[in-house]
Amino acid sequence: MKDKGFIRTGAVVPKIKVADLEFNKKQIIENINKAEEKNIDILVFPELSLTGYTCGDLFFQSIIMKKTEETIIEISKNTMDKKMLVFIGAPLYKDGSLYNCGVVLNDGEILGVVPKSFIPNYNEFYEKRWFSSGHNIAESQIRIGEKSYNFGTDLLFKSDDMDLTVGVEICEDLWAPITPSQIHSLNGANLIVNLSASNDIVGKSIYREKLVSQQSAKCISGYVYTSAGYGESTTDLVFGGNVIISENGNIIENDKRYSLEEKLVFTDIDIDKINHDRAKNTVFNDSKNHVKNYRIRTFSMKENKNIEIKRIIDPYPFVPKDDEDRNERCSEIFNLQTMALAKRIEHINTKSLVIGISGGLDSTLALLVSVVTADLMKKKRKFIKGITMPGFGTTDRTYNNALGLLKELKVDYEEISIKDASIQHFKDINHDIENHNVVYENTQARERTQILMDKANQLNGIVVGTGDLSELALGWATYNGDHMSMYGINSGIPKTLVRYVVRWAAEYKFSGKARDILLDILDTPVSPELLPPDKKGKIKQKTEEVVGPYELHDFFLYNTVRNGFSPKKVYYLAKLAFQNIYDEETIKKWLVNFYKRFISQQFKRSCIPDGPKIGSVALSPRGDWRMPSDASASLWLEEIKSLD
C-alpha cells in the first residue's frame, strides 16, 4: 500500500449509548480490532464518540469526567502493537474549562489531544453551554490519568516513513470561514480528519458533501469525515451517521445510509497524487504566509505490502461513467470548441473554413464543430469547404461516409484524389511505389495537407486541424502533414473522448441520414488509410494494431501528465483497471511504447498550431506541457524493465 503511495483510511459510525462509557469503549475497541484486520492505516471515530454527543448537562458530571480519562487510557492500551493512527472523540477538562476533543492514539500511546476551535451556539446547537474554544491554545499540555500529553490546535501528526501528515478538525470547524484544516494544510498536512456529530435534516447531507468536497479541493488534501449515528439521543434531533472520504475535491466514498447497526467504511487515498498536485499548484504554495508554529508528532504504520487497493481504478479517466455526467461533459466540450473557433473566425475575418474529411472520427468531429459554429455565427454552411482526398488506402466505407456526411450537412465540398500527385512525387524522388514504407505513407499525408493549405489560400480561409490529443501524445502524425493546420480544434480532446463527443452530437445535434452516417463512422476502425485495403476492400492498416489501444494510451497519458505517476505506479494501476481486458505483458508492451513515443515525439508538439485547451491534460508547448525535444526516455524505460 505505502509503496504504491496509497493510505487506507477508515471511518467508524459506532452504535453508542449516551453516557454509557463502558459500552462505548467496547464498541470502539471492537472497531479498532476490525480495522486492524482490514489493514486500515488511519481510523476516525465521530465527535464525542466516547460519551455520546447528546449528553447535555451530563458533561459536567464529575463521574463522566473521571470515567472519560480512564476509558481513554484503556483504549490507548488496546492500540499497542497496532500500527494505526486512531482518532476518538471525548470531552476533557483542563484548567477550569471543558473541551470537545479529538484524542490521537498510536501503538499504545496517546500522541496528542486536539480541541475543537469553533463552538456553535445557534439553532439546535448550544455547545457553548458546555465547551470552551481551543482556537488559540498552543504549546500546552493536558493531564489524562497520571501523565500529561500535548494539547492544542498546533498539533500535526507525521508518518515516520512516507510523506503523510495528518491534521485534525472537529465538526463545526469545517463550517468556519477560515478553517483549521486550511491552516493545517498550508503547514504541511495532506490528510485532514474530521470527527463530527452533524445532525440530519432534509437537504443537509447534500450540503455536507459539498463542504467536504470543496474543502479537500481547496486544501489539495485527503479528507475523512465521519459523523455520529444511531444511539445518540433523539429528544430533538436525528443523527444519520454520514461518512464522506474525499481526495482533492473528488468524493471517493460516501456512505449516508441510515443504519441501526455500526458501520466501518474504508477506502484508499492516493497521497502521491495529492503531493503531485500540490507541487504543481503555485497558488497553494504562495498562500503559505499563514505559517503557524506546529508541534509535530510522528507515528508508525504497517508495511501493508502486496495488499490490493480498495477503490475502483477507472480505465477511462477522461470519460465520465454516469450517462448524465457524460452528456454534460460532451456538451461542454462541444461548446468550448465552438466558442474557440468562432473567436478565431471573427478575429481574422476568415472567409472560409477548409477541412479534410476522411470518414474517420477526428475529421468528423472537426466538421460538426465547424457546422454548428457557422450556424451560431449566422453564416451559410457553404462557408465551410469540406474536401475528401481519396488515396491508395481509402476504402469504400470511409469514402462513402465522408461524401454522404458532406452532402447531408449541406456544406460546400470537393473531391480531389491524391493518387496521381503522389505517384508523380514518387517518380520525382525515385521511390519505388511498391515499397510501402514511411515515405509511401507520409507522401500521401503531406500531399493532403498541401491541397488543404493551397485551397485555404484560394478561398481566403483557414485549414481547421483534425488531430486529437492522443495522437499528439504519441506523435502519431506526419510532420508537416496532418500534423499541421491553421487552428487545431481537436487538439485538447483524447481519442477515447472524441468518440463520445461525436456520439453525443449524433444524438442531440443532428438527425436523419446525417445521424445514421455518424453512427456508422463511430463503428469504423481507427485508421490513417495510408496503406492499400485488404483483398475484400476493407481497412488493412489499423492504428491500434501499430501503436497500441488508445484506451491504454489515454490511461497512461492521464496518469503520467495529470498525476505525475512513475511507470511503476502507472503499470500497477493499469493492471487493476484493465484486469479483465489485457494481460500484464500486453500492458507492459504498450507502456514501453507509450514512453518511447511520448518523450521522443516532443519535437512535433513543440510547433503545433493554436488550439483550445479542453481538459486538465493538455500538451500545448505554449502553456501546459513544456518539455525539451531532446529529453531521454531511459529513466522511464529502465523502471519498466525492473517491473515484476
Active site residues: 47, 116, 171
Q: Which three cell numbers stand for residue 322?
A: 454516469
AA letter at 86: V
Contact 511, 584 (CB under 8 A): no
Backbone angles phi, psi at 92, to 5 degrees: -130, 145
How do beta strands 462-465 and 487-488 pair? parallel
User: Quick one: CA dihedral 184, 189, 192, 193, positive or negative?
Assistant: negative
549-558 exposure pattern, b = at least 16 Cβ within 10 A, e = fewer: bbbbbbbbbb
Separation of alpha carbons 125 and 196, rounded Å: 13
Contact call for residues 617 and 562 (beta carbons, < 8 A): yes
Identify the DSSP state of 145: T
For 65, phi then psi, to 5°, come to -60, -45
- Residue in the structure block whose three cell numbers are 443532428: 510
Q: How far apart are CA 556 and CA 541, in angstroms?
A: 23
**Residue 315: partners with Cβ closer than 8 Å, 6 or more residues away:** 551, 555, 577, 578, 581
Neighbour count for residue 420 (Cβ, 10 Å) = 9
C-alpha to C-alpha distance for 90 and 71, rounded to whole angstroms:
10
Cα angle for residues 507, 512, 516 (degrees, 5° grid): 70
In angstroms, the CA 253 to CA 233 distance is: 27
What is the rounded CA–CA span in Å between residue 237 and residue 239?
A: 7
Please tell me the distance from the alpha carbon of residue 543 to that of residue 531, in angstroms, as a whole number: 11
Pairing mode of beta strands 462-465, 353-356: parallel
Residue 435 burial class via C-beta count within 10 angstroms: exposed 0-12, middle 13-18, buried 19 and up: exposed
DSSP string, 565-617: --HHHHHHHHHHHTTTTS-HHHHHHHHHHHHHHHHHTHHHHTTPPP----SS-
Burial class for 285, CB neighbours closer than 10 Å (0-12, 13-18, 19+)? exposed
Give the three-class secondary structure for 329. helix
Q: Which residues contact 594 (CB under 8 A, 6 or more apart)?
A: 473, 474, 548, 552, 553, 556, 557, 560
Burial of 496 (0-12, 13-18, 19+ CB in 10 A): buried
The residue to which cell 488559540 is assigned: 136
Could you give the C-alpha distances from 309 to 270, 306, 312, 558, in angstroms and in order?
10, 9, 8, 19
For cell 472523540, name the residue: 89
Q: Rg for the chain (alpha carbons), in Å?
A: 30
**What are the grid coordinates assigned to 620, written together?**
500545448
